[in-house]
């Protein structure tokens, strides 16, 4: 593996940084492969409480897939490239810990799709987001047509995908694409503060909460509620549940152990 992905560990927090700043962190096969392998390994690390996904440099989260690398792709190669992107986004969604996107600049095409797979997003006031693939004669290939619709509604998703327009951070906030807009210099400190808050909660509870929210989306309410009941009951068999409730009654901070 190369150096197109940086991994920084700080206790229970891990920061994944897309690292091709000279190419605005464009997603080539090397970067995507590194991200795929890293996410697979992190999913099995029970000491991780939260992850942050961001881009290196001052200009981009990820400006999209590497167009030069896609120019001569065959239909079959394009299918494999799309499948790799879908697998990575699925790993983000199914990770047993939250993944917060810190959108520090351009998040276009595949970059926007990676962001959409995150649990939620905070954006720099310099951020620009969009799905401009139709300008290239293609469509989003890493789940953008589906996750964007689930995030902002079908009509907004159609508008963005059909026009290929890029929107600024404030518009992204207005339509619900990002959770908050933060001054550029303060973005990572804000995201790390939120990640640190999450890291203090019961890790098994966070994992089950993420699972219930993800699995319940798009299924009938009765089915989703049954998933919640199952997760709720299961947590009563954990030491963390007893510790959390005991700590509350004793008016002290809980010492969760993930068991």
Segment 164-201, tens digit of pLDDT: 999 999 999 999 999 999 999 999 999 999 999 999 99
136 and 73 fall within a common domain: yes
Domain range for residue 143?
5-199
Please list the active-site residues.
Answer: 113, 133
209 and 106 fall within a common domain: no
106 and 68 fall within a common domain: yes
Count Cβ atoms within 10 A of the Cβ of residue 252 and give its class: 0-12 exposed, 13-18 middle, 19 or more buried: exposed
What pLDDT score was predicted for residue 220? 96
Euclidean distance between the first and final Cα of the chain, in Å?
Answer: 34
- Structural domain contains residue 51: yes
What pLDDT score was predicted for residue 112? 98
- Structural domain contains residue 126: yes
Q: Which pTM was predicted? A: 0.95
> Which CATH number belongs to the domain containing residue 227 in this structure?
1.10.12.10
Boundary-marking domain end, from 199, 215, 233: 199
> Which of 139, 88, 137, 79 lies closest to 109 in space, CA to CA?
139
224 and 183 fall within a common domain: no
Mean pLDDT in order along the chain per 10 residues (259 residues): 88 97 95 97 96 97 92 96 97 97 98 98 98 97 97 98 98 98 98 97 97 94 97 97 97 95
102 and 230 fall within a common domain: no
What pLDDT score was predicted for residue 218? 87
What pLDDT score was predicted for residue 89? 98
């Amino acid at each position: 593996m190369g150096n197109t992905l940086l991994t920084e560990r700080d206790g229970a927090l891990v920061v994944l940084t897309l690292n091709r700043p000279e190419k605005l962190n464009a997603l080539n096969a090397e970067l995507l492969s590194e991200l795929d392998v890293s996410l697979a390994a992190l999913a099995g690390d029970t000491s991780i409480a939260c992850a942050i996904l961001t881009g290196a440099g001052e200009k981009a989260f990820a400006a999209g897939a590497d167009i030069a690398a896609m120019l001569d792709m065959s239909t079959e190669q394009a299918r494999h490239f799309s499948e790799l992107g879908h697998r990575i986004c699925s790993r983000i969604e199914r990770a047993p810990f939250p993944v917060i996107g810190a959108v520090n600049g351009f998040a276009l095409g595949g970059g926007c799709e990676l962001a959409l797979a995150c649990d939620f997003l905070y954006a720099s006031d310099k951020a620009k987001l969009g799905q401009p693939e139709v300008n290239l004669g293609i469509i989003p290939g890493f789940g953008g047509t589906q996750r964007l619709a689930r995030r902002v509604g079908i009509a907004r998703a159609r508008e963005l995908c059909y026009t290929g327009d890029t929107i600024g951070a404030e518009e992204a906030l207005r339509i619900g694409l990002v959770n908050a807009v933060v001054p550029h210099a303060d973005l990572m400190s804000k995201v790390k503060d939120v990640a640190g808050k999450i890291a203090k909660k019961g890790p098994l509870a966070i994992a089950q909460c993420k699972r219930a929210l993800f699995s319940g989306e798009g299924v009938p309410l009765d089915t989703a509620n049954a998933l919640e009941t199952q997760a709720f009951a299961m947590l009563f068999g954990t030491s963390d549940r007893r510790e959390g409730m005991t700590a509350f009654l004793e008016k002290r901070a809980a010492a969760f152990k993930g068991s």
